């Protein structure tokens, strides 16, 4: 019999978490032998290559056998050097072969370090007034006090609000519930143009960088920016001398059907934050990739990058990341993500005929989200007390499918959504199984909430 847990603190006080015992491919198995499809790719959007790939654990074991930690103030390590070369060779647009890589531990470290680099770059360049980070509402960039401050995910911000550094947020690029009440393309992309307004209001001399996710993950359940959005963002950043930070923590490494999600807009950012899919959850690792020109300014002025954690550039993690990246390329996972993502979205749209609570289906590649509504025609949300997305999550979990429930599509407060991001190795039959489970789970939730 399972010993009741008393000492470990979990994410929720009111539920019993099954204990995971092993994982293979797209499946997780708990201690009672129940099998689950890892439909959200972990919590969330992590497991690019799937679970249990031997090459990764062997590379990690081999590196750990040689050494797993080293004094980073005095030495470097070969896996870190090799990983940096590999990442720069795969970087998007003008960053390819013309950037440098800083390796750290979590996605939050990466976005924090990206804004540190932006700030240090401007100080060292002789423009110390540039410090502000403009971000967007309904965005998530990480979970430390500083990063949660420039994130725009209302529910996670609220308790810590008084502790944040004040920073401007612009409205999200979110066509289903357009903050400007317009429709694409006649909207003239006001969501992107609102960056210019914010920059002018703050005074460009004060603004260091703009940060955004090309496809918003946890805060909007896979909402991609419309076509043309990032081209306008890039122009505004160039015009006002502002760095563009691309948060690819969820979207990188093939997740959206391209190696980098910013590739869909054919724009080069100045700094990229990446994590999750880069080691597929086998071990913690994240990185920032920034233009040579940015690092060169620091180098020329002998100004070491003022960031860093004890476990940065960990050799075991760097060894794992290389195997994961090669696996992604060798198995053409961005292509599979594109094809299976299309199949998934088409299947979900078909379910709309049977499920009036399915208000919207969206995403790119295998980052697929849907929104649950009380009335489709008016997009009326469920009462938050009804916890519609959590009900859906529980109904699917019971049937062996992990989903990721999200809330806040309306002003960060109302609106239930579900994020799906299965491992990129998933096959067509497995997508159909997911669709079948979602079909049954939606029926259960609709009857519980009285949706007809
Ligand atoms: C877009 C984005 N940025 C940053 C983070 C923070 O990453 P981590 O949870 O590894 O700190 C997340 C986490 O979900 C994310 O989705």
The position carrying tokens 């990246």 is: 325
C-alpha 360 – ligand 1 centre gap (Å): 24
* Residues 49-64, mean pLDDT to the nearest whole number: 98
* Residues 243-255, mean pLDDT to the nearest whole number: 98
Q: Which atom of ligand 1 is nearest to the CA of 44?
A: 14
- Give yes or no for residue 371 having a pLDDT over 60: yes
DSSP structure class, residue 218: T
Name, in order, each residue with C-beta under 8 angstroms of 233's C-beta and a sequence gap of 6 or more: 192, 195, 210, 212, 244, 267
Helix (H, G, I), strand (E, B) or coil at 297: helix
Residue 12 is assigned to a structural domain of this protein: no
Residues near ligand 1 (Cβ within 6 A): 106-108, 111, 140-143, 213, 217-218, 247, 249-250, 275
Q: Give 158's pLDDT tier (boundaries 50, 70, 90).
A: confident
* Residues 359-384, mean pLDDT to the nearest whole number: 98
Cα-flanking dihedrals φ and ψ of residue 171, to 5°?
-65, 155
Mutate to test the pocket of ligand 1, among 147, 250, 417 (most ligand atoms within 8 A of CB): 250
Q: Give 4's pLDDT tier (boundaries 50, 70, 90).
A: low
* Residues 282-304, mean pLDDT to the nearest whole number: 98
Name, in order, each residue with C-beta under 8 angstroms of 186's C-beta and a sequence gap of 6 or more: none
- Give yes or no for residue 279 having a pLDDT over 70: yes
Please report, for the domain that includes residue 354, its CATH number. 3.90.1150.10
C-alpha 303 – ligand 1 centre gap (Å): 28
DSSP 1-56: -PPPP-S---S-SSSPPPPEEEEEBTEEEETT--EEE-TTIIIII--SS-B--HHH
d(Cα 112, Cα 142) in Å, to the nearest integer? Answer: 8
pLDDT of residue 253: 98
Tokens of 302: 């002998």
d(Cα 42, Cα 199) in Å, to the nearest integer? Answer: 36
Q: Which atom of ligand 1 is nearest to the CA of 248?
A: 1
Same domain, 88 and 230: yes
Name, in order, each residue with C-beta under 8 angstroms of 181's C-beta and a sequence gap of 6 or more: none
373 to each of 137, 204, 358, how far by Cα in Å?
A: 21, 40, 6
Sign of CA dihedral 224, 337, 147, 116: negative
d(Cα 207, Cα 191) in Å, to the nearest integer? Answer: 18
CB-side exposure of 168: number of CA atoms within 13 Å?
21
User: Vertex 295, ends 291 and 296: CA angle to 5°?
Assistant: 105
Which of 298, 330, 362 is the endpoint of a domain?
Answer: 330
Residue 164 is assigned to a structural domain of this protein: yes
387 to each of 382, 418, 449, how far by Cα in Å?
A: 8, 12, 10
pLDDT of residue 429: 98
Same domain, 221 and 308: yes
C-alpha 398 – ligand 1 centre gap (Å): 27
Q: Collect contacts of 57-65 with beta carbons under 8 A, ≥24 apart.
A: 57/282, 59/319, 59/320, 59/322, 59/323, 60/282, 60/283, 60/316, 60/319, 60/320, 62/319, 63/315, 63/316, 63/319, 64/316
The CA radius of gyration of the chain, in Å to the nearest whole number, is 22
Same domain, 314 and 336: no
What share of the chain in percent tops pLDDT 70?
99
pLDDT of residue 3: 59
C-alpha 258 – ligand 1 centre gap (Å): 19
C-alpha 297 – ligand 1 centre gap (Å): 28
* Residues 328-348, mean pLDDT to the nearest whole number: 98
- Give yes or no for residue 440 having a pLDDT over 60: yes
Same domain, 343 and 320: no
Q: Which atom of ligand 1 is nearest to the CA of 286?
A: 10
Same domain, 249 and 295: yes
- Give yes or no for residue 1 having a pLDDT over 60: no
Same domain, 315 and 267: yes
Same domain, 157 and 77: yes
- Give yes or no for residue 258 having a pLDDT over 70: yes
pLDDT of residue 452: 84
Residue 1 is assigned to a structural domain of this protein: no
Q: Give 6's pLDDT tier (boundaries 50, 70, 90).
A: confident
d(Cα 337, Cα 257) in Å, to the nearest integer? Answer: 5
Mean pLDDT of the chain: 97
End-to-end Cα spacing for the chain: 42
- Give yes or no for residue 2 having a pLDDT over 60: no
Residue 434 structural domain = 20-49+332-449
- Give yes or no for residue 407 having a pLDDT over 70: yes
Q: Are 248 and 14 in contact (CB under 8 A)?
A: no
The position carrying tokens 């400007």 is: 180
Q: Which atom of ligand 1 is nearest to the CA of 276?
A: 10
C-alpha 379 – ligand 1 centre gap (Å): 28
* Residues 88-100, mean pLDDT to the nearest whole number: 98
């Amino acid at each position: 019999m399972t010993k009741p847990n008393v000492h470990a603190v979990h994410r929720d006080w009111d539920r019993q978490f099954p204990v995971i015992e092993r994982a293979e491919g797209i499946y997780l198995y708990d201690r009672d032998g129940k099998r689950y499809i890892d439909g959200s790719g972990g919590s969330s959007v992590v497991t690019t290559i799937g679970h249990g790939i031997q090459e990764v654990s062997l590379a990690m074991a081999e590196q750990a056998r040689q050494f797993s930690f080293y004094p980073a103030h005095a030495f470097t390590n070969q896996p870190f050097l090799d990983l940096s070369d590999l990442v720069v060779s795969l970087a998007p647009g003008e960053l390819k072969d013309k950037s440098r890589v800083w390796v750290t531990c979590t996605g939050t470290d990466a976005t924090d370090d990206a804004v540190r680099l932006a700030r240090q770059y401007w100080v060292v360049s002789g423009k110390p007034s540039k410090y502000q980070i403009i971000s967007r509402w309904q965005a998530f960039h990480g979970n430390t006090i500083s990063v949660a401050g420039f994130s725009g995910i209302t529910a996670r911000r609220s308790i810590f609000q008084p502790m944040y550094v004040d920073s401007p947020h612009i409205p999200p690029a979110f066509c289903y519930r357009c903050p400007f009440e317009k429709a694409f393309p006649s909207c003239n992309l006001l969501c992107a143009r609102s960056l210019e307004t914010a920059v002018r209001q703050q005074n460009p001399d004060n603004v260091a960088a703009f940060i955004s996710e090309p496809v918003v993950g946890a805060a909007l359940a896979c909402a991609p920016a419309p076509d043309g959005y990032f081209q306008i963002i890039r122009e505004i950043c160039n015009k006002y001398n502002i760095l563009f930070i691309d948060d690819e923590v969820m979207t990188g490494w093939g997740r959206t059907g391209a190696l980098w999600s910013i590739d869909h807009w054919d724009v080069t950012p100045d700094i990229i934050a990446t994590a999750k899919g880069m080691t597929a959850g086998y071990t913690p690792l994240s990185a920032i990739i920034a233009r040579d020109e940015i690092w060169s300014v620091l180098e020329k002025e002998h100004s070491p990058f003022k960031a860093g954690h004890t476990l940065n550039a960990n050799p075991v993690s760097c060894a794992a990341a290389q195997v994961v990246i090669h696996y992604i390329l060798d198995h053409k996972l961005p292509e599979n993500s594109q094809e299976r993502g299309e199949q998934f979205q088409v299947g979900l749209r078909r379910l709309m005929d049977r499920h009036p609570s399915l208000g919207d289906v969206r995403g790119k590649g295998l980052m697929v989200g849907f929104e649950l509504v009380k009335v489709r025609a008016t997009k009326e949300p469920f009462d938050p007390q009804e916890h519609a997305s959590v009900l859906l999550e529980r109904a699917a979990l019971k049937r062996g499918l992990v989903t990721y429930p999200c809330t806040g599509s309306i002003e960060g407060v109302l609106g239930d959504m579900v994020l799906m991001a299965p491992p990129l190795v998933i096959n067509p039959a497995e997508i159909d199984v997911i669709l079948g489970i979602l079909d049954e789970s939606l029926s259960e939730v609709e009857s519980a909430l009285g949706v007809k």
